[in-house]
Structures are given as C-alpha cells and as structure tokens.
Amino acid sequence: MPRPSVHVRPLLRSWFVDDLQLRTRTSTGAVGSARTYVLIHGIGMSHRYLMRLHGELAASGATVHTFDLPGFGGLPKPGHDLDAGDMADALATVLDRLDVGAAVLVGQSMGTQWAAELAAHRPDLAAAVVLIGPVSDERHRSFAGQAVALAVDTLRESPDANLLVFTDYLRCGIPWYLVQLRHMLTYRLEETVSRIEAPVLVLRGGRDPIAGVEWSRRLRDRARRGSLVSVPGHAHNAQHSAPRAVAAAIEAFAAAQSAMATT
C-alpha cells in the first residue's frame, strides 16, 4: 500500500562557521524515532532538488536535515578556497551544534565526496553512508568528460529537473562552480570509501551517464561493507525523479544496518 502523502514544513536555520554560512532545513521525527538522515547536495546545486527525498524520508517518522553549503543556494561565496576536507569540517561543526550524533549521511553527485570525507574523518557522525550518483571515475576526471556526461544527462532528465539544475547553477555562478569543479575532478572517492568504517550504499539511476555501473560497482567493492542499488529508468538526479524508490532503498539499507547492529 502506498504511504499516505504528508506535508512537511522544515525548520529553516542559518549557521556560521568562522566566515562560512550554511543553512539547514530540518524535519523533526516522531518521538522515539532513532533514525536521522543528513542530505548533502552536489556541485552548483542546493537543497531544492533534495526536497522530494527529504519529504519521503521525513514521512517515515525520521528526522531529516538538508543542507545548503557555503557558496551554493544563494549563500555568500567564501573569500577563500574550500576543498573536501574544509566542507566536511563545516558540516561536522553544524552537526555537532545540532547534537545529531550518528546519522545516515546521504550525498548526491559531488555531495558524495563531502559525505564520504565527513564519514572518514568523523566516524562518530556516520551510522551509514549513502552515495547517490557518485563522482568521478577516470573517464570523467576532466572538464570535457564532465561536460559530455552532463549534456547526455540533461537529455535523460525531466524538464523540471533540468530547470532546477539550470537555475541553481545560475545562483552558484561560474567562478565558484569552477573552483569546486577542480576539486571534484581531482578527488579520489574510491580511496576515501575504503577508509569509511560505516556501511556504504552506492545508489545510481539505471540511466545515469555520470555515475556508470562499473564505477559504482568498484565503489561498492572498495567499501568495507558495501551495497549497490540501481533505480531503473532514471538518470543522475534519481532522488528527484524517483524519490519514493530512492527513499525506499535508503530506508531498507538503514533498517538492515540497524538490525545487524543489534544482533
């Protein structure tokens, strides 16, 4: 039976970590719910394309925190460079202030790098890690490789998904996008994944030209406790085009890990 639709009105908060501004949108779970999800967007993007997934996860009674990171979603651009470690440190500071504890960290696209970095350096904050459309494999570690894959992906996404991407890219701006793209192309996600103590779920759309199946399998195999789920018929932004299917996969994964931890 389909889950009844719920209207979630997240609490919006701004956070300052030194000179960096972040935002969270939080839906607080039911009393007694132990599960918390942290949603982290990708390069150029914001919370907006994660909100369907946010709503689905919140409908299960969990607590969900969805982030806007420095320089994205209309937030001020930092006056200095930020690499994956810097982003992870800023995320960790806010999660500590929120007193989140161990959560299911969910990153999408470049957000998978920030989520993985956070899990590797702060294992106390990671009950599990979900990598949706992870980047980047060897074929796409160049500007040209990314441009071609992104162009192909736009042909496979819905018009509303493409509109979200385009308008968020405009808000991000080319300079900050290019600064982060340089980090994205040089980051070795597979190496970080191998250092993560928590279980890792790699999740991709079945038609995703950016996070290919072989790359996704390799990440699964590099994880100490890795799983792989494919959502047939969907592309890079499966969390937007198929939020119920993606949420169901994440919830099943998280529940399985919780069950294993109590046995």
Give the CATH class of 11-261. alpha beta
- Name residue, tokens 């996404």: 157
**pLDDT value of position 5:** 44
The pLDDT of residue 32: 60
> Which residues are within 8 A (CB) of 168 and not within 5 positions of it... i.e. 6 or more apart?
44, 45, 46, 48, 49, 72, 73
What is the distance between the alpha carbons of residues 192 and 194, in angstroms, rounded to a whole number?
A: 5
Q: H helices within 3-82, ranges in order?
A: 51-59
The pLDDT, as a whole number, for residue 112 is: 99
User: What would the pLDDT profile of 171-193 be if each residue is shown by its tens digit?
Assistant: 999 999 999 999 999 999 999 99
pLDDT given for residue 8 in this prediction: 52
Q: Which residues of the chain have pLDDT under 50?
A: 1-2, 4-6
**CA 42/CA 65 separation, integer angstroms:** 15
Parse the chain into domains and list their residue ranges.
11-261
The full DSSP string for 91-114 is HHHHHHHHT--SEEEEEETTHHHH
